[in-house]
Chain A
Amino acid sequence: MSVKVHQMACTGCGWCVVSCPQDAVDNRPSFVARIDEDLCTHCLVCLDYCPNGALVDE
């Protein structure tokens, strides 16, 4: 199980970056969310913050 990013749905708004309690997400330089799987604890907070439904738990 891990959080995946739908590349086409992500607008690069940064909500996942600032909602992640582990600072495991960055959106630079491509402006598509990128999750550091080593830091991600799979808490899924980012899913409830993403305005574009671009993050999914797979």
Chain B
Amino acid sequence: MIVARARFPLWLALACGGLALLVLWSFSVGKFPVAPGDVARALWAAITGGPSGLAANVDAVVLQVRAPRVAGALAVGAALAAAGAAYQSLFKNPLVSPDILGVTAGCALGAGIAVLYSLPVGAIQALAFAGGLVAVGLVVVIGAWIGGRDPLLTLVLTGVVVGSLFGAGIALVKYVADPYNQLPAITFWLLGSFTGALPRDLPSTLIPIAIGLIPLALLRWRIDVLSLSEDEARSLGLSVGLLRFVVIVCATLVTAAAVSLAGTIGWVGLIIPHAARLLVGAPFARVLPLSLVLGAAFMLAVDTLCRTAFATEVPPGVATAFIGTPVFIALLAISFRRSA
């Protein structure tokens, strides 16, 4: 058997290659098909600033219509997968993710309140971030207070409870929202979708994601030590409290940016890090990059199928649940039987 460490470059290269093909495919399919060669030429021209030599409507479809949506799907998939990987190490629990911990619901409530008061994009993101922090903070405090013999299960159940509390808050926001303008927008956005991804929204999504990811990448070895028991981590010289705080803030910032753009999309943050770990072993230095690439690829594939495979568009947040549930059950069976 080849060791996990040696498999990493191969899997990362395969994932990157697959992602490149997916991007090309996603640009070319849709109501207005564009040949993959033309997609490459239009993108190349846009990057280099030269003329593409293509019809104006082809350029417009590739660059104006599809590019923001593709970029949005890539960013959100990568962000949710990375946040999931970080939460799993932090809570020493392979069964948590932004959605299971209630962080996604917290972000959604924050953003929903901002939409209710017609606040600008920056405020939506700030409130989403605040809502996410409150949710994860509640999970940490309540989980620690309950304690119990099975911390894995306690945390998951606490997350579910906190998530449903914030879900009730979201329901309240919807109830009082203006039924003609705000309610459809909030409802549609809560289903999880990239149709609202506009070129001007991308920087405000990508920058917080990058700000959150950089510390996580730099702390990769410390995050491994953090995934041991608290006594072990402290006796190995870690300032556990400070590190936990930094990782929670970063992972929540990344989640909030993703939720602000695309609403509540579940399961990506749970399944992708799990899959990455099965492929390349436990160290965060390998799980994080592979999760980023696999998360981006998964999200893009799901979104592209959602807008092309059916007569009407299916919200990708709904599709990830349909795909995610059986995949997660399979992963669960594999990892539980293996450790049994």
* B is bound to A: no
Binding site for A on B (CB under 8 A): none
Binding site for B on A (CB under 8 A): none
